[in-house]
Amino acid sequence: MPFRQQRYEAIRQYVGFHYSDDGTSDRVPVNLLELAVNIYTQQVAARAPKALVQTRFRDLKPMAADFELALNHLIKEIRLGQTIRLAVIDALFSLGIIKSGLERRASVEIAGFLHDVGQPFADVVSLDNWVHDTTATRLEQCQFMGDRYRLPLELVKESKAFKNTAQLQATVKTGYNESGDTKTESLSHGTESDPDEYKDHIELWDIWLPLENLLLTIPAEGEGKTLRIIEWDGPETGPYKVLSFSDVPGNIMPLAPSALWMDLHDLANRLFRKLGRQAERQKTVLGVQAGSEDDGDRIIKANDGEALKMDNPDRAREYRFGGIDQPSLAFLLQVKDLFVYLGGNLDTLGGLSPMAETLGQDQLLAQNASKRVADMQDRVIEFSKEVICDLGFYLWNDPLIELPLTKRVPGFDNLSVPVTFDAESREGDFFDYNIEIEPFSMQHQTPQMKLQALVQVFQQFLAPYAPMMAEQGIGINFEALLAIISKYTNVSELQDILEFAAPPTVYKPGVVGQPPQKMGMGGTTRHISERVNRPGATRSGKDAALMQTLLGGNPQASELAAIRRPTG
């Protein structure tokens, strides 16, 4: 219960005040928690993983290529990238759990998804619907684990896969679980009991017993008679895969990253709301001495810049009351900097602003900041690999599988061969193949990043070795290169500006059998590089100068000038 409740409160802060009626009771003007979760999700699970299938047996390499095509087709078909992304967000708040399997019955709805017959599936399991052996200190030591889900009551009673269904009754959907914990799904539809449902549903538990190698299905309410007992014939590690980012020695539950961010997030918002109330109370009034009321009335009615006749100018003065407390504002800036620091340098990870005044220094900071992210990426890649291996196991061992695929011929971009992945075409055993994940397939890559990588490859590998490549008959297709540059820079007009035609040829007179030579461009091209130094500013430097000023310090003139400069 405490882990579920902490997760619920963290997600409430994540959605803020304006998400629904069940969001936070106070406004969250500085949602640092959402910022951190969004940045880390983009860093570790921005895209769907791409599977690589290899084998040490030479005869099985063609089959490995077909298996890789089939597996990547399945990843795209079931939208595994979105599932892993949701699991990563769950892991930032507690545990990321994915349940995989093979649907052998008619299409049924599990956790909101329709599973096709014979198709492997992978679904996210919420901590609200999860159970495991809490006496264990490691997940591998658990004697049981399972998840709860809802199915149409009519479908369960008609299915031949379940027994003892005669006494089953519909389960009322509530915003609480059996222990009274509030479910996170209540944030969107409230905690109302017995909401209107299109069909009657029943809640079931799937419980996996690793030692007995059994999978049980029991109703969540009622007498609890077992509806299904099957011998587990899936992957040895079971149907569940769990992702966590910070392990706690001697404890099965991890330390969620959001637990480290919550206090500073809450403190920053309480300070900001307090400063907001102070700003709202701030007022400026005009005070006049007794007998000078006429001067005060004329001042109030006068327009800006207008000449004004006053009898006693010294008896009218403007007074300011209230306003933002400067030390509190400086403390807020320090709290924000602490959040960025404890979050692993979020400014650099999220590309929010430069942290140094030169490009080289900023790149160095980004490389150091990414070390924490690299560990999280390794965990997500290993977690994704386990899920994909399970999907590959089901895909390989399914006797009814039949996937029409298209295999491209290497070296011929426009040539492809249709192939079919089915039980008859499979060769070897599943364990003859090694399933990996392309390391950078899940990372976010903008068109600008792709263009930068292309320019780097061209400058370091293609341009210097162009003569040697020409001797081997390798040339550079500049038309395709410029088309890619036009695409990545989003400058479609480049295609209209350039005109591609066959290069002119010239013949040397008097030379018999002289092959035509392409007309080259003569002359010398000179490049002039001019370096212009412009003063810059960083967000941390500006905050430091502003805090020093608010606390009564005397920053240097250059630091004060940096406050006014943009950080972009």
Count CB atoms within 10 A of the CB of residue 370.
17
Give a yes or no: residue 350 inside a domain.
no
CA 138-143-146 angle, 5° bins: 95
- As for how many domains the chain has, the answer is 1
Give a yes or no: residue 463 inside a domain.
yes
Give a yes or no: residue 465 inside a domain.
yes
Provide φ and ψ at 352, rounded to 5°.
Answer: -75, -35
Query: CA 127 to CA 149: how far, in whole Å?
Result: 12
Q: Read off the tokens for 178.
A: 């059996």
Sign of the alpha-carbon torsion through 321, 327, 328, 329:
positive
Question: Do the beta carbons of residue 49 and residue 74 sit within 8 Å?
Answer: no
Give the closest residue to 99 by CA, choosing from 91, 82, 112, 87: 87
Query: CA 436 to CA 213: how far, in whole Å?
Result: 27
Give a yes or no: residue 62 inside a domain.
no
Task: Mark residue 394 as left, alpha or beta (left: phi above 0; alpha: psi -120 to 50; beta: remaining).
Answer: alpha
Give a yes or no: residue 471 inside a domain.
yes
Give a yes or no: residue 84 inside a domain.
no
Q: Considering the entire predicted model, what is its pTM?
A: 0.76
Q: What is the pLDDT along the chain (568 residues), one digit of tens a residue?
A: 889 899 999 999 999 998 888 888 899 999 999 999 998 998 888 888 888 888 888 889 888 888 889 899 999 988 999 999 999 999 999 999 999 988 655 444 444 444 555 678 999 999 999 999 989 998 889 999 999 998 888 888 888 888 888 888 888 888 777 777 788 888 887 766 656 677 888 889 999 999 999 999 999 887 668 888 999 888 888 999 999 999 999 899 999 999 999 999 999 999 999 999 999 999 999 899 888 888 888 888 889 888 888 888 888 888 888 888 888 988 998 899 888 888 887 877 776 655 444 444 445 445 555 677 888 888 999 999 999 999 999 988 888 787 887 777 665 556 677 888 888 888 888 888 888 877 667 766 667 767 777 888 888 888 888 888 888 888 888 877 887 887 777 777 777 777 766 665 555 555 555 555 544 444 455 556 555 555 556 666 667 777 677 666 676 766 666 665 555 4
Question: Do the beta carbons of residue 96 and residue 383 sit within 8 Å?
Answer: yes
What are the residues whose beta carbons fall under 8 Å from the beta carbon of 174, sequence distance 6 or more? 191, 192, 193, 194
> What DSSP assignment string belongs to 30-92?
S-HHHHHHHHHHHHH-SS---EEEEES-GGGHHHHHHHHHHHHHHHHHTTHHHHHHHHHHHHH
Query: CA 4 to CA 507: how far, in whole Å?
Result: 82
Give a yes or no: residue 437 inside a domain.
no
Question: What is the extent of the structural domain holding 466?
Answer: 445-493
CA distance readout (Å), 131 to 97, 187, 240, 382: 11, 22, 11, 23
Give a yes or no: residue 175 inside a domain.
no
How many residues are given for the chain? 568
Helix (H, G, I), strand (E, B) or coil at 404: strand
